[in-house]
Each structure stands twice: as C-alpha cells, then as structure tokens.
Amino acid sequence: MDLVRAIRGVAGVEASDRPADKLCYARDLLPRHHIAVRDGLPTGRGKRPAAIAWPQTTDEVAKLVRLCRQEGVKVVPFGAGSGVCGGIAPDAQSLVIDLKRMKRWRNFAPDEGFLEVEAGAMGIRLEEDLQGEGHTIGHFPSSILCSTVGGWVAARGAGQCSGLYGKIEDMVATLEVVDGRGEVATLQRRLSGPDLLPLVIGSEGVFGVITAARLRLHPVPVHRGFAAFSFAHMEEGWDTLREAFQMGLRPAVSRLYDPFDSMIAKRGKGADKKKRSSGGAFEQFEAFAMRSLLKLPGPLNAAIDALGERVFGGATMVLVFEGSAERVADELEAMRVLCRARDAEDLGEGPARHWMENRYSVSYKQAPMIMKGAFVDTMEVAAPWSKLGQLYEDVRAALGKHALVMAHMSHAYPDGCSIYFTFAGSASGAAEAEAIYDNAWRDALDAAIGAGGTLSHHHGVGRTKAGWLGRELRGALPTLRAIKRAFDPDGILNPGNLIPDGDVETAPPPKAPTSPVVNTTDGLVAVSADHTLGQIETALARDNLTLGIERSLDPTERVGSWVDRGLPGAPDPWLDPVDHVVSGFTARTRTGATIEVPPCPRRAAGPDLWALFAGTEGRAGRIDSMHLRARGKRRPVSLQTPIARQPEPEPGERRFIDRVLGAVEG
C-alpha cells in the first residue's frame, strides 16, 4: 500500500515519506540518542517511520486512526519531540501524526475560568498570548520553548511554578481524545467521579491521541516576591520546605540545591562570559580535561563529598512567591521566620531573581557538553518526606558509581518532594558510553524503587523506564493492559511505549491497618476501608490534624463506602491544586487482582489508577486501604475558579466510561 497516497485520498491530510522527514521524526530527545548522533551512528537501530501526517482538525485525526486500524499500521502521536524517555520510537510499520498544526484557541472563556485549546499549541507562544490577555495557565516546564499542550498532558508534566498552581493534571478540566477505533470523546473532570481524565493524563499516547484540552486560567499575578537562603545541610533545607507546605504556605517556586549544585549555579554567569572570550585551543583543552575527569566518577564524587559544605558552601534555597502584594509579603515573612529558626543565611533576592532570568537556559546546556565528548542526563524522582533522605542518598550513590552527580529538590508538596538529579559521564567510544549510561539508569531506578520513591515525577516513563513500572504500580500491569484494550482493541497506538511486556512478581501487599496510623512527618494517615470517618478524625485530632472534610458527612460512614461515592465533602482540589486527598492505596479489582500504589506526593508513572475506584460504585473493584492527607488548622489561600465541579457525562463520554470499567470488571 502507498500509505501517503492513502492518507491524502481517505483523510485529505498532507503527508510525507521523504527520507529527511522520516529521519526527523524517528526519535525524541532521549539523551542516549545523542551519543550515537555525536559519533555519526544511526539511532534507534536505524528505524524510521513509514510516513508522517500533519492533520489540522480532530476529524482528520480520527480518519487517520481509522485508516491505520484498517490497514494494520501503528500510530505514533507527536507533539514537539521534546520528550526525554524514548517515548517516540516508530518503525517502518508506523505513521507519525504530528499535531502542531492543531494549535487554535477554540474557546477563550475567562469568565468561566478556562481556555479550550488544541493539543499542538506550543507552550511559550500560548503563555505569551495568554498573558497579553491578563491570564496564565501557570504551567512553565523547562521545555516550554519546545513542547506542546498535548505533550504536557500525555507525560503528566510539571512546571516550575507547581508549588502554587500544581502539575498539569491539576489544570485540565476536559480532554478531547481520539481512541484506537478512531472514535472521538470529550472526557470531563469531576470531583466525585466517574472520571477518566486521570487515566488519559500520563498515558503517553498508548490510550488515545489527545487533540484538545480545556485548561484552567488564573489571572496574571500582580506581584512577585523573591528570596534565597543558605542552609548548612540539605536536611535542614528540606525540613523547612516540609514545614512551610504543611502549614499552608505556597511558594510558586521552591528549589533547594545541594552544595555542589549550588556552587555550579553561583558560577554560571561568570563561567559563560569566560568561555565566550576564550580561544579555540583553551576550549579543546577544557573538553579534554572534562572527558578525563568524567571517566573517573567514583574518585570525583568522593572528592566532592570530602570537600562538601566546607568548600562549596551550604545548600541554597531559591523561592518565588506570586499573587497579591499582601499575600506575597505575608508568605515571604512567614518563610523567613522558618528559615531563621534553622539558622539559615539570608541571601537576599539576588539568587532568586537570577534563577528567574535564566529559568529555561539549563535545558540547553547539555548539548555543548555532549559535543565535547560527555553524556549528560537528568532523573527526576519523588518520595514522601520521611523517605526523602533515603531516596537522595541511594539514588545519588547508584548514579555516582557511573557518573558525576549533583541534585536539587525542585517540586515540593505537603506530603513529599521531588529530587532532580543531573549526571554526566564519559567513555572512549559510543558503545562504551551507552553501556555506562544504561548501567547508571538501571542502578538508579532500582535504587529509587527500593527507597520507596517513584520512578518519575514529571518526565514520564517512555521505553527507558517501562521495565520498572510494574515494580512501582504493584500488580497493576494486567489492569493497565485491560484499559488499553478498552481504548485501543487492536493495539495500534504507540505500541511498546509505557506498558512493558510480561508481568512482575511482587510481594503481597501490606495488611490494612487495624486502626488509623498517623504519620505527622508526611502529613498522612493510613486507614482501612472499614474505618469510619469519625474514627479517622478522632485519631488525627490527637495531633491537632484533620481530614478537612465537610462536617455534614456522617461520621459513621465507612471509608470504603465514601470512596465508592467519590469522596463527597473532601477538600476541593481546584482551590488548592498542590494538595491531593489521596497519596496511595491498595485495591482489589473485580477479577481478583490486587493493586498497590505506594504513597507518593506526585508521580508521572503512567495513568492514575485511583480513577478506577473513586466514584465508580465498586464497578472496577474495592479499595482495601489508603493513605489520606492529614491537614493542619492553617489553610492556604484558596485559588478560586468558576469551573464546574460535577458536570454530567455526555453520551459519548458515558460510552467510554462503561467500556473502560467493563474491561476492568473482566
């Protein structure tokens, strides 16, 4: 079959099978690919897609998917190609669907609190245009210059201001999706379920092609406040962040850099100026010295540890607050009080302002190092506060055997935090470099899961981390495959991505607690489905904590029943997007499978399976236990929005809901 001719004839869509186009769409920005590119070798074993298509409407996307289903052609959705997890890896039986020509604003409705925009809209242009209208989405990923709305949603991404506005899953009110049949549905978020959005957000193109999203709007902040502090030790810094978020402070940006990363950040401006004024000979010597040092990661990391705070200085915290002048002033002062209590040095506004001015530049510093003979990558993980130290030490040690490593805490929440590792190494040739790179990732992912963390906080899973997904979402792989069959019965949507082949043997899930167990460090309470709301509130009151639920709820209602009904009366996540009601859970599906999702503040490890149980009246199964957020008496300032909380499902959406729940029912 001439695929390009068929596409033009059936769908009326521009398409190409030119070699140059196929080369450009053969991969994403997975750093492992750069090693081969630098050495002039083909990436992805030389595989290329059969063709690329550029639809301009949802109807055209649906026609393309139906054509591919009929002809047995795989479909690979493509945004801007900025993913770093190997999510794009088409072969000769694949059609790449580039969505960037679908970038229109369908409905700009600030009075209703949202913008409906097509999935191909580029991030930076979208934000610039919105801010010209006095509004913002609040989503500022480092990739904003080269990423799309659809990519943000598919990867369950996070922006730099997640401390106030939340992650992308907190910003989406509806999604338009084309499934593997070529059917179109509009899926809506509703607080008490049923709600399929959490299953599509983070599904990385394996459940459907995202064609449009309705995103929440915020007014552009009228004031911004900056602060920075230096702590003697990392632990003091993250304890301060924990206390701040649990007492209700919401800095838009809160970053804590370890001593070595702090030193690198401090010397950034001067080093860049020196390089620009240096001659070619100096740059060649610098590249040689860098490659030589990076071939000795063990001694290099040991030397950095030995020098520690004594030479590099302390751990640097950068903070940015947004909102009204009064709110910013109050929260800045509250933060200063917390920092002074731990003897932190006040560095003034300078470091935070410098960070803001250069907030996107770090993502573009990898290419020069790669061209000089190194490999560079980043790994973002997360864990509850009580496990953060172990996560930091274990992943750092695992990476440190193979590469130079530095880290910073980049996204904080009331129940935990993410850690963003940067690592760099070198080798004599591409094959050796790729082997070192692969071993570094393998050991680091083993360490992250072993320490009780998530394998991804915001970059996603792709193909590089798929083999670990079943170890994090324990017992969940059969359920994920059942959901995929419901969305994509012929398996044509981005096969091989996200969901690995085979199953993973896991230990039996922990027994449900016999009484509520309060963890004041994490701000969580572990409960069973048989505990009543009143029992939980009584246990929390001993530590001056509460679930924050409406008083009108029946205190004798069992948690399991409350979940079946969709947790009505729970705190409204639209008002405080940073804080979620549930951090982890165990459940048993109708087929008898047990799923365990360990507590974690946020994850980008595929779909959020909590959507199968909240508000579905037990159709998919029942929860056995869960970790609920325990809140203090002080509450953050609410981010008000008129967005509908419980819209009625439309017939098309109801059909999708029934299909997915029916597949999980078995």
Taking only the tens place, the pLDDT of each residue in 108-117 is 999 999 999 9
Q: How many CA atoms lie within 13 A of 227 on its CB side?
A: 24
* CA–CA gap between residue 288 and residue 428 (Å, rounded): 12
pTM flag (> 0.85) = yes
The verdict on domain 517-634 having CATH code 3.30.465.10 is yes
For residues 527 and 599, is the Cβ–Cβ distance under 8 A? no
DSSP 175-217: EEEE-TTS-EEEEE--TTS---HHHHTT-TTSS-EEEEEEEE-
Q: Report the pLDDT value the prediction gives residue 275, as an integer from 0 to 100.
A: 47
Q: Report the pLDDT value the prediction gives residue 231, as an integer from 0 to 100.
A: 96
Identity at 182, one-letter amino acid code: G
* CA–CA gap between residue 20 and residue 116 (Å, rounded): 34
* CA–CA gap between residue 371 and residue 194 (Å, rounded): 50
CATH number for the segment(s) 105-219: 3.30.465.10
**Residue linked to tokens 């690198």:** 264
For residues 133 and 93, is the Cβ–Cβ distance under 8 A? no
Query: Which residues, in sequence order, are CB contacts of 61 under 8 Å at separation 6+?
Result: 55, 97, 99, 102, 178, 209, 211
Q: Report the pLDDT value the prediction gives residue 634, as an integer from 0 to 100.
A: 80
Find the helix packing angle between 297-312 and 280-294, rounded to 10°.
Answer: 110
CATH architecture of 3-98: 2-Layer Sandwich (3.30)
* CA–CA gap between residue 289 and residue 371 (Å, rounded): 14
Class of domain 223-466 (CATH, top level): alpha beta
Query: Which residues, in sequence order, are CB contacts of 320 under 8 Å at separation 6+?
Result: 161, 224, 225, 226, 251, 252, 253, 352, 355, 356
Characterize the bridge pairing of strands 94-98 and 74-78: parallel
Q: Report the pLDDT value the prediction gives residue 190, as an integer from 0 to 100.
A: 96
List, for the chain, all residue ranges whose pLDDT scores fall below the cut of 50: 270-278, 282
Q: How many residues are there in the chain?
A: 666
Q: Report the pLDDT value the prediction gives residue 296, as an integer from 0 to 100.
A: 85
For residues 31 and 423, is the Cβ–Cβ distance under 8 A? no
* CA–CA gap between residue 192 and residue 196 (Å, rounded): 12
Q: 132: burial class by Cβ within 10 Å (0-12, 13-18, 19+)?
A: exposed
Q: Report the pLDDT value the prediction gives residue 637, as an integer from 0 to 100.
A: 85
Using the 8-state DSSP alphabet, how is residue 10 labeled? H
DSSP 442-499: HHHHHHHHHTT-BS-SSS--TTTSGGGHHHHTBT-HHHHHHHHHHH-TT--BSTTSSS
**Residue linked to tokens 């505990």:** 531
Q: Report the pLDDT value the prediction gives residue 286, as an integer from 0 to 100.
A: 59
Q: 562: burial class by Cβ within 10 Å (0-12, 13-18, 19+)?
A: buried
Q: 486: burial class by Cβ within 10 Å (0-12, 13-18, 19+)?
A: buried
Q: Report the pLDDT value the prediction gives residue 277, as an integer from 0 to 100.
A: 47
Residue ranges of domains in the chain? 3-98, 105-219, 223-466, 517-634
| Domain 3-98 and domain 105-219 have a common topology | no
Q: Report the pLDDT value the prediction gives residue 281, as an integer from 0 to 100.
A: 58
Q: Is 285 helix (H, G, I), strand (E, B) or coil?
A: helix
DSSP 341-393: HTTPEEEESHHHHHHHHTTTGGGGSHHHHHHTTEEEEEEEEEEEHHHHHHHHH
Helix (H) or strand (E) run with residue 218 in it? strand 218-219
